[in-house]
Amino acid sequence: MNKLDKASLKESMIDTSIALPIAWGMSYLTLILMYALNISDAFIISLLQTIVLTIVSVLRKYIIRTKFKKIEIVRNEELLNSSSIDINHLDLSQRQKKYPSATN
């Protein structure tokens, strides 16, 4: 059984939570625009909404993915820094004695 990727699930849930009000608002605005321009053809309205929602969706997803990627980079750097061994205060003979496999 595959292990659940909690970070991906969290990102997906946040992205979808942000997407819902944006999509609803953009859909409403395109409808208002179409009615203001006296366009009542359902095909034209759905085509414009699809184009607008796709563009907004790609931009939203890019922004969210970029934010989460920055968070991942910071976490990885923190993990790397916390797991490293500081041997700078030791002279060479002390390093070889304490960490023989790291100094050969």
- The mean pLDDT value for 87-104 works out to 63
Q: How much is the average pLDDT of 10-37?
A: 94
The answer to whether the CB of 23 falls within 8 A of the CB of 53 is: yes
81 confidence band (pLDDT: 50, 70, 90): confident
- Euclidean distance between CA atoms 47 and 44, whole angstroms: 5
pLDDT for 74: 87
The region of weakest confidence among 1-5, 8-12, 75-79 is: 1-5
State the average pLDDT over residues 71-94. Answer: 73
